[in-house]
Amino acid sequence: MEESNTKATKNKKRRILFFVLIVMISIMLLYIIMDNLFMPVYTRHWQSVNVPEVTFKSFRAAKKILQQKGLNGLILDEKFDGNYPPGYVLFQNPLPNSAVKKGRRIYLTVGKGNKIIQMPDLIGISERDAKFTIEQYQLELIKIYFVNDIHYPLGVVCEQSIPAGEDIEVGSSIELGISIGQEEFSYIVPSLIGKSKEEAMENIEKSGLILGQILYQETDKILPNTVIRQSLTSGQKVNRNDSLNIVLSKLPGK
């Protein structure tokens, strides 16, 4: 009887040991399968990539670069910026070199070019106020010319190269015509001594005269390009379009 019980106990232990062995082998096989088959697929699907830099590229080019990395570029916002053509990427989120999962959306802010504004009406205001308005509207004054005008007094804007109310881009160039009053038959020669070349040319044009020859005299006593002589005496009456020559200073040896 005791011998029979001993055999039964041994058989039971063998069965338990065999079961434990089978379980351990199964766990090892499952680990090997997971490690070599399922995990690589899982990690490849969710692996992280570094976000490439796509700022200052066209949206089309940026989207293509992102797609090559498995990312999706989307336009989040549009802003005015005259430094780049319309449709170029100004900002991206996440930032370049950020580590993200494949399939991540990259939000892009795209430029719309220069801001469009309406040209202000400058006719009838002073030259000074016109310059201030042009600066406020972020326009560029490239030329001032002078016009005889019976309707507007001296120093008032009587012409503008872009009509008021026209749609224009910020940074557009404009020219202004400044009234010098009604045309007269005789003109007074301005005093140009001590003025810069630019100031002299402006005064000559305002006076209804024509700039004639520009000569130079060497001196180190005054700043270069300063008027030191003029061919017509200041204060005398002359005819319209008479020529006025000036002599400018220059440094010795230049």
The reported pLDDT for the residue numbered 112 is: 87
Q: In the predicted model, is pLDDT for residue 153 greater than 60?
A: yes
Helices (H), the chain: 2-33, 39-46, 59-68, 127-136, 197-206
Instruction: Using the structure block, give the residue that is written with the tokens 């040319």.
Output: 201
Confidence of residue 6 (pLDDT cuts 50, 70, 90): low
The reported pLDDT for the residue numbered 241 is: 79
Phi, psi of 102 (to 5 degrees): -60, 145
**The model scores a pTM over 0.85:** no
The reported pLDDT for the residue numbered 41 is: 52
Classify the C-alpha dihedral 29-35-40-43 as positive or negative. positive
Neighbour count for residue 110 (Cβ, 10 Å):
20
238 sits in which H/E element: strand 237-239
Query: What percentage of residues in the chain have a pLDDT greater than 70?
Result: 88
> Cis omega before residue 94 (within 30°)?
yes
Model confidence pLDDT, tens digit, residues 88-135: 999 999 999 989 998 899 999 999 888 889 999 999 999 999 999 999
Tokens of 58: 């066209």
